[in-house]
Amino acid sequence: MLVDTYYKTLVNNSLTIVTTESLGDNQTLTSLTVAAGSKVVAKNGEKVLLFAKGTSTMTELTLTADLGKTTTMSFRGATFDHDIPLGSVVLMPKQENFDKVNNTDLYAQQSLYLNTGTNGNDYLSAFGTSTFSVNTATTLSDGDSKPNRWASQYGIFVAPYACTLKKIKGWASTNAGSGDNGVISIWSATPNAGATTNFTINLVQAFALTSQNNQNHLFDLEADTGGFTNAQLAEGDILFVSIKRTGSLSGSVKWYADIGLDIEMFKQPI
């Protein structure tokens, strides 16, 4: 009775169940037939645990395709010295399962349009708009000290709780000619609440863009930033965007961008 209850608990918490027995005998397998569901439950590249029914054997597998919507579970080759019976279960490792259950994703976005900047300075958004016309009168650098008021004027995102900017994804284009380039940067900062003290800006990611002399060319603004120190935000920290031109700095040049920010935060109780 206890074994039956334990198995039912495993099934209830499983990602899927094996529906066709596979023989072991030191065979190397790259797929198993499983029950299909209505949604993806684990992504290509994630690790899962295969618990062979009726045994004490747990095997870690790395998926080579999304799991959930098809009857095939594909994974990197694994050699089995035991059979995999019908009813074996596929589980999410504990830490990864906790991450999925306890974390939520937030999204922030910034559109960008620049039609100035022949001085080579960094420009900021005109107070929450897509027009980048605020001249910082300098080129920004990691660790610079800047006015505390920037938190209310140029922030694209304010952290409601501690969180992490884990990915940047966007597109940029320009009508600039050869040698007329640009740099788009994403920054974080910790404002000083109830004070007038300057804060320090921290560079999260800079995209150096070399003009292709073709306004239909799209630059891919992509970076996985979850492991970056400056991407770790405390409650109240801000993110903001800047752009500067480099190179020949010709007149009548325009830069465009649309930038998405994927931010992970631990779920808060209601």
Same domain, 117 and 250: yes
Which whole-number Å values give the CA distances from 16 to 28, 92, 153, in the listed order?
Answer: 21, 10, 49
Q: What is the pLDDT at residue 107? A: 97
Q: Among residues 30, 59, 92, which one ends one of the domains?
A: 92
How far apart CA 132 and CA 16 sit, in angstroms, is 49
Residues 220 and 256 in one domain: yes
Number of domains in the chain: 2
pLDDT tops 60 at residue 159: yes
Asked if the structure places residue 10 within a domain, the reply is yes
pLDDT at 27: 87
Report the alpha-carbon angle 203-217-206, nearest 5.
5
Residue 110 sits in the same domain as residue 206:
yes
Per-residue pLDDT of 249-265, as tens digits, reads 999 999 999 999 999 99
What is the model's pLDDT at position 3? 65
CATH number, domain with residue 113: 2.60.120
CB 172 within 8 A of CB 184: yes
pLDDT for 24 equals 75
Q: Are residues 174 and 220 in the same domain?
A: yes
pLDDT digits (tens, 9 = 90+) for 162-171: 999 999 999 9
Mean pLDDT of the chain: 95
Q: CB atoms < 10 A from the CB of 108, how many?
A: 15
DSSP3 helix / strand / coil % (the chain, rounded to 5): 10, 45, 45
Q: Are residues 78 and 173 in the same domain?
A: no
* pTM recorded for the entire structure: 0.81
Query: Are both 125 and 80 inside the same structural domain?
Result: no
Q: Which of the listed residues 92, 124, 146 is the one where a domain comes to its end?
A: 92
Of 68 and 54, the structure prediction assigns the larger pLDDT to 68
pLDDT for residue 6 = 77
What domain range is 18 assigned to?
A: 2-92
Same domain for 187 and 76? no
Q: State the pLDDT confidence band at 57, using cuts at 50, 70 and 90.
A: confident
Pairing of strands 199-209, 255-266: unpaired
Gap between the terminal Cα atoms of the chain: 38
Q: What is the pLDDT of residue 208?
A: 98
Residue 1 has pLDDT above 60, yes or no: no
Residue 97 lies in a domain: no
Nearest one of 270, 267, 269, 261 to 101, comparing CA atoms? 267
Give yes or no for residue 270 having a pLDDT over 80.
no
Mean pLDDT of 87-109: 91
In a domain, 99, yes or no: no
Evaluate whether 241 touches 185 at the Cβ level (below 8 Å).
Answer: yes
Tell me 96's DSSP state: H
Q: Are residues 246 and 145 in the same domain?
A: yes
User: Same domain for 58 and 7?
Assistant: yes
Tens digit of each residue's pLDDT (9 = 90 or more) over 183-220: 999 999 999 999 999 999 999 999 999 999 999 999 99
What SS3 class is residue 256?
Answer: strand
